[in-house]
Amino acid sequence: MDTKIYLKNLLLDSPIVYAPLAGFSDFPYRQMAVPYGPALMFCEMTKVEGILWSPQRTLKLLEFSEDMRPIGGQICGSNPFLAAEAARVIESLGFDLIDLNCGCPTDKITKDGSGSGMLKDPIGLGKVVEAIVQSTSLPVTVKIRSGWDFENINVEEVVSVVRESGADAVFVHGRTRSQGYVGPANRDFIRRAKAVAGTMKVFGNGDIFSPESAKDMLEATQCDGILVARGTMGAPWIAKQIREYLETGTYHVPSFLERKEAFLLHLRYVEEYYSSEAKLLTETRKLCGHYLVSSENVRFLRAALGKAKTREEIYSSIERYCEEYCRDEI
């Protein structure tokens, strides 16, 4: 397998891409990922209307640093004209790639035909992709699910439309919209996408939580690359693990101490970026269960953090937890 992938004029030095995750893929989240070398990262998804009509609020989501390159901007919207205008803004901000989200399953996104709602109208989806392609010189990719529900699996049709509309790659989630994140991702849908994609690159997505599952995705579907989403939560190092496993058959598993130190570093990045104690409290509660999910009695730490009201209480709770429950792991 060739580990380098070209998307138009953009070279990805591995097949491992980190997905945009609403509520997670913020600036500190991406700072954590940089040392582990994913081939491509994204800022959080932004609605095209937000980019065009509420730029001050939306542009905060689109901040990145040079060491995060290559960096993608993911937009969401079903209006070709607005999508094209938003793509021009994304290019002007210095992004390396533009992705159209046709996979988000939430009601607030699909109610206007955006996100995975676009799977119901492949022709309309194609018009949006074509408008974006014609508006920018950047590589254009599309994130899809395999169908609206099991009675409407149209992954081959949608991938064919995406290809004919000029996109450079498609990210295929092996679940339907109706599944949400319940049940296993069907890799046969991704294999079927690859079979009709022609020269367009296909990235498999869904249930990639370990190097083993990444290797299985590549082998079972013959896709060109993988899109890791929830598998990055509390594991910014998973790209490095996957590369190691594909190359050597083994990989490093972080110790509790390494995971704890990564958690604390992530909190430091949150403090530096947001300068907000309230934001630190929110992010600490959200991230704890991901970084320390496999630790004994972590529920006690989560309960303590849920009651914390200051920065000092956060760090004292973490240290107290480590002293009481994690001596052997350290």
User: 139 near 98, Cβ under 8 Å?
Assistant: yes
- Work out the number of other CB atoms within 10 angstroms of the CB of residue 285: 14
User: 317 near 301, Cβ under 8 Å?
Assistant: yes
User: 274 near 280, Cβ under 8 Å?
Assistant: yes
User: 284 near 269, Cβ under 8 Å?
Assistant: no
Measured CA to CA, the distance from residue 305 to residue 315 in angstroms comes to 9
Beta bridge partners of 11: 6
Catalogue the active-site residues: 104
User: 188 near 158, Cβ under 8 Å?
Assistant: no
User: 173 near 103, Cβ under 8 Å?
Assistant: yes
Strands (E), 55-186: 71-76, 97-102, 140-145, 169-173
- 82-109 in b/e form (b: 16+ CB < 10 A) is bbbbbbbbbbeeebbbbbbbbbbbeeeb
Measured CA to CA, the distance from residue 183 to residue 185 in angstroms comes to 7
Question: Which amino acid does the sequence have at 58?
Answer: T
User: 87 near 137, Cβ under 8 Å?
Assistant: no
What single string gives the DSSP state of each residue in 4-38?
-EEETTEEESSSEEEPP-TTT-SHHHHHHHGGG--
